[in-house]
Structure 1
Amino acid sequence: MTTTVAQQYKNYIGGEWVEPSGNEVRPDENPADTREILGLFPRSTAEDVNRAVEAAAEAFKTWRRTSGPQRSAILHKAANILEQRAQEIGEALTREEGKTIGEGVGEVLRGVAILRFFAGEPVRPIGEVFSATNPETFLWAERVPLGVVGVITPWNFPVAIPLWKLAPCIAYGNTAVFKPAELTPLTAHLITEVFIEAGLPAGVLNLVHGSGSVVGEAIARHPKVNAITFTGSGTVGRHVYQVASERGAKVQLELGGKNPVIIADDADLDLAVEIVTSGAFRSTGQKCTATSRVIVLEPVLKDFTAKLVERAQSLRVGPGIRPDTYMGPLVSEDQREKVLQYIEIGKQEGAKLLTGGTALSEGEYAYGYYVAPTVFADVEPQMRIAQEEIFGPVVGILRARTLDEAIAIANSVRYGLSASIVTRDIRKAFYFAREIEAGVVHVNSETAGAEPHVPFGGMKESSSFSREQGRAAMEFFTQVKTVYLDMPPAQ
């Protein structure tokens, strides 16, 4: 491999690319081949956050008064630019996060769809007119922006998740301080470029690279940050919520999942295997909506298990940039070690390892963070591998005697993000949809995946009871102002 000098990147504050206040940088490495460094990114300080917040607060004074059609035009232009750069940004995403090139480009195109949806929001109705007791009173309620919003995003969807937060934030008249994950800073830089090229005014979007413990903490504590939207781990999310809500900020959390698929005894097993395989192993299982539990009715347990193991063993693992790769590496060494630790926990708990369970480190895998697709059987509901989020290519098979027992097992975790059932029986499908404790429910499709124009979010510890995407985003990114206008006396 040819060695090149890595480019050093900057923060974007107040309409300019600026040097951070400190000198510390972090290399952005390719998890498929760690010899490739994609760039050097700032490990910014609280001083950088303060500059960004001040810039956002100043820009809010005028951005909040920008007309809906003007905001709409900028978002439409951003969507067009992102579409034109889809291959370039998709490849960058694949190189720094690890998912396959098909998934990388697909995620960028999903971002295009998100931008186009929210480009329509500024020209849709934002209020209601009411009848007042006094016939001379004109009474209305309208939705108005919150102000400066802190946008803290994870590494697993470094284009889609920032855009489904930034697009409504901007569309409804707010300004943003954007802190992306340290593992995926390049895609955040490219997204910011798209907004700049689209003509977003200075200060409306500010990008600050750095760690969660420094940059994220400073955003959560800053008195001029009126709201925070966060996607990430439950531990960090609860800390952000506590810190920000204590000072009265509005907080939105999207956290983890332990998502089940129920295989009914009338299921098409070939379809079921493909649904589970895609849900569990696409993106190397690094999705909050990934399938991690398969609850199988006894009559089809043996046949389904054999088919799933065979399919898992057939998957092509390798660098995501290769077009024939089904599953790429994990995003980092820490993430790989976490997954391998959970595999050991599963074996110690008594689950039966059917395939995978090892790091891949020979030959083409020597410089990447690879783990073989892993399937456990004989998993019991109380086991840690059936209760805790692993965030890797590991799926456990659980046995159930009845549909009610399967649903009870599915509901026996603290999460409630997404869930699926595979069945030919419409009655079972409706019963499942009613009884399952999940914010996103699928029938005959995988647990992962969400349309950009409908609400997204979970129940229980998977969210803070708010929803993202679709018109539901307006509930978080705006507040209601009620106006009583009494007519002056006639002259």
Structure 2
Amino acid sequence: MEAYNNLINGRWVGARSGQLRPDINPSRSAEVLGQFPDSDPADLNDALEAAAAALPKWRSLSIIARGDILYRAADLITARADAIARDLTLEEGKTLPEAKGETLRAAAILRYYAGEARQEIGEVYAATDPTTMLYTKREPLGIVGVITPWNFPIAIPAWKIAPALIYGNTVVWKPADITPLTAFHLATALHDAGVPAGVLNLVYGRGSKLGNVLVEDSRVRGISFTGSNGVGRRIGVACATRGAKYQLEMGGKNAAVVLADADLELAVEMTIRGAMRSTGQKCTATSRVIVEQSIVGAFTEALAERCRKLVVGDPLDSATYMGPLASLDQQKTVLDYIEIGRQEGARLVTGGTQTDNTGFFVSPTVFTAVDPHSRLATEEIFGPVVAVVPATGLEQALQLANDSSFGLSTAVFTKDLTKALRFVDEVECGIIHVNSETAGAEPHVPFGGMKESSSSSREQGKSAREFYTQVKTIYLDRS
């Protein structure tokens, strides 16, 4: 069985402790895919020292040259996409086509930010004195800490690391500890593409041992985090206390609203995609479906019938629609919420069972007659569970959609443009889809939520520049 290492200062090195942790295949939980370092703060300190030493030379390198490295890394990921996707599927559980799509999305993100090297990096302003040249320039923050989740183990790191690098920062990256192999592939591509020693440092290990150390270190000038709300809040407080920038993308309880005039077949299909792809393990996954009362029966029946036909099993099998949950803990959480739904009085229409003892599988699950204030309807489950909630019309549907502490993504299904535009104007979410699934995002547009779904920051597209750079204003007068 292969043992992998951290990437620190351009070298692959083991944890100082010599301790390793297994990478488990969630489809066949007895199978170990590899062993990865169980790092401690001493390893993290080595990475921070390397990032600090590499910073002056990296930030002084032409942004065009930095972009060329990202282009090369994108080409390497594309060339290796089949192997990367297979390993992603093996350790995370999403189907092979989804893993291939995510891998190619990571390559597209790298190319996008490589292209940003040839965009404007400052602005010129009119000055009161006509002999004064008044302009701004953007400079890197310095060392950036990147903490990424397991559900998109190559795309999310790419959309954090690529802008950090293109704008001249050095990076210390702590990936999720249950998807280390995919992190290895991304780091290897960037390393092989020519990212200099110390510019990107990958440190494997548990968040409980490394997270606070990374967040609280005064050398780290920014933290970009995607994960749970509880951890995100603690990161925000720690960064604010010492004056570091922070960017948090956290939970969601995303609602799809289906009005009576909607294309029912389309609404069902988009709900299935939004709720069941990636086994519901997306922050943008459809978790609630608010359906106008007159069609709630027909919609629920059609949704349940489609769910019963979904093939759950080996994610490497081309016939499989939905693979396992990513871990035993995740499976337990989902099964616990299904039991909570039953106890709260919601009606289980289909699913709700563990389907296979060899891995962490749960069947696609639909509840109806769900109390909109119940835990089933208000708490993030992060699994293949849909709560159907009736509404009298658009007015109540908007009220129910907004009655949430989260505000990441939403969708509305209607043929009425006026209703669609009213929904867009009044719904409290950062991402809105009209007649499409709640999940999915283009790499060149802002991504992020409202309320407790984010720190009011945005990722991807040109929004990333606002986080990873700081602005200098220059008054240049003639001598």
**TM-score range normalised by the length of the shorter chain:** over 0.9
- Are 1:434 and 2:425 counterparts? yes
Structure-2 separation of matches of 1:451 and 1:21: 40
Match of 1:54 among 49, 64, 80: 49
Give the superposition deviation at 1:36.
Answer: 1.7
Give the superposition deviation at 1:486.
Answer: 1.7
Q: Name whichever of 154-163 and 209-218 sits farther off.
A: 209-218
Structure-1 separation of matches of 2:121 and 2:411: 34
Give the superposition deviation at 1:233.
Answer: 0.2
Match of 1:479 among 445, 463, 470: 470
Counterpart of 1:447?
438
Counterpart of 1:422?
413
Structure-2 separation of matches of 1:356 and 1:403: 29
Structure-2 separation of matches of 1:27 and 1:453: 36
Match of 2:278 among 283, 307, 314: 283
Counterpart of 1:20?
15
Residues 140-179 of structure 1: pairs in structure 2 closer than 5 A: 140-179=135-174
Structure-2 separation of matches of 1:456 and 1:107: 16
TM-score, structure 1 length as denominator?
0.97
Query: Quick check: 1:289–1:417 contact (8 Å CA) kept in 2?
Result: yes
Q: Name whichever of 148-157 and 424-433 sits farther off.
A: 424-433
What secondary structure sits across from 1:35 in the alignment?
coil
Structure-2 separation of matches of 1:173 and 1:211: 28
Residues 285-434 of structure 1: pairs in structure 2 closer than 5 A: 285-360=280-355, 365-434=356-425
What secondary structure sits across from 1:33 in the alignment?
coil
Q: What residue identity is the alignment partner of 2:353?
A: T
What secondary structure sits across from 1:144 in the alignment?
strand
- Are 1:211 and 2:206 counterparts? yes
Give the superposition deviation at 1:35.
Answer: 2.1
Counterpart of 1:34?
29
Residues 67-216 of structure 1: pairs in structure 2 closer than 5 A: 67-216=62-211
Counterpart of 2:456?
465
Q: What residue identity is the alignment partner of 2:82?
A: Q
Q: Name whichever of 283-292 and 478-487 sits farther off.
A: 478-487
1:160-217 residue CA offsets vs partner (Å, 9 max, x unmatched): 0000000100011111000000000000011010001111111110000001111111
Structure-2 separation of matches of 1:217 and 1:323: 41
Structure-1 separation of matches of 2:387 and 2:64: 50
Counterpart of 2:250?
255
Structure-2 separation of matches of 1:305 and 1:125: 50
Give the superposition deviation at 1:384.
Answer: 0.4
Structure-2 separation of matches of 1:212 and 1:311: 38
Q: Name whichever of 287-296 and 423-432 sits farther off.
A: 423-432
Structure-2 separation of matches of 1:307 and 1:135: 69
Match of 2:261 among 257, 262, 266: 266
Structure-1 separation of matches of 2:305 and 2:202: 45
Structure-2 separation of matches of 1:103 and 1:168: 24
Structure-2 separation of matches of 1:249 and 1:319: 44
1:20-74 residue CA offsets vs partner (Å, 9 max, x unmatched): 1112211001000012211111111111111101111111111111112101111
Counterpart of 1:3?
none
What secondary structure sits across from 1:239 in the alignment?
helix
Structure-1 separation of matches of 2:171 and 2:354: 40
Q: What residue identity is the alignment partner of 1:311?
A: R
Query: Quick check: 1:416–1:437 contact (8 Å CA) kept in 2?
Result: yes
Q: What residue identity is the alignment partner of 2:461?
A: G
1:399-420 residue CA offsets vs partner (Å, 9 max, x unmatched): 0001010010011010000000
What secondary structure sits across from 2:336 in the alignment?
helix
- What root-mean-square deviation, in Å, do the aligned CA atoms of Structure 1 and Structure 2 show? 0.8
1:332-372 residue CA offsets vs partner (Å, 9 max, x unmatched): 11110000111111111110001111111xxxx33200001
Structure 1 stretches of 5 or more lacking a match? 1-5
What secondary structure sits across from 2:23 in the alignment?
strand
Structure-2 separation of matches of 1:136 and 1:273: 64
Structure-2 separation of matches of 1:136 and 1:232: 50
Query: Quick check: 1:138–1:486 contact (8 Å CA) kept in 2?
Result: yes
Give the superposition deviation at 1:131.
Answer: 1.9
Structure-2 separation of matches of 1:214 and 1:485: 48
Structure-2 separation of matches of 1:137 and 1:273: 61
Structure-1 separation of matches of 2:84 and 2:66: 24
1:144-171 residue CA offsets vs partner (Å, 9 max, x unmatched): 1100000000000001000000010001
Query: Quick check: 1:121–1:172 contact (8 Å CA) kept in 2?
Result: no
1:61-102 residue CA offsets vs partner (Å, 9 max, x unmatched): 111111121011111111111100111100100000000000
Structure-2 separation of matches of 1:278 and 1:308: 11
Structure 2 stretches of 5 or more lacking a match? none
Query: Quick check: 1:126–1:142 contact (8 Å CA) kept in 2?
Result: yes
Q: What residue identity is the alignment partner of 1:478?
A: T
Structure-2 separation of matches of 1:131 and 1:444: 45
1:406-435 residue CA offsets vs partner (Å, 9 max, x unmatched): 010011010000000111111111111111
Structure-2 separation of matches of 1:381 and 1:479: 43
Structure-1 separation of matches of 2:358 and 2:181: 20
1:277-299 residue CA offsets vs partner (Å, 9 max, x unmatched): 01010000000000000000011
TM-score, structure 2 length as denominator?
0.99
Structure-2 separation of matches of 1:212 and 1:326: 31
Structure-1 separation of matches of 2:392 and 2:221: 50
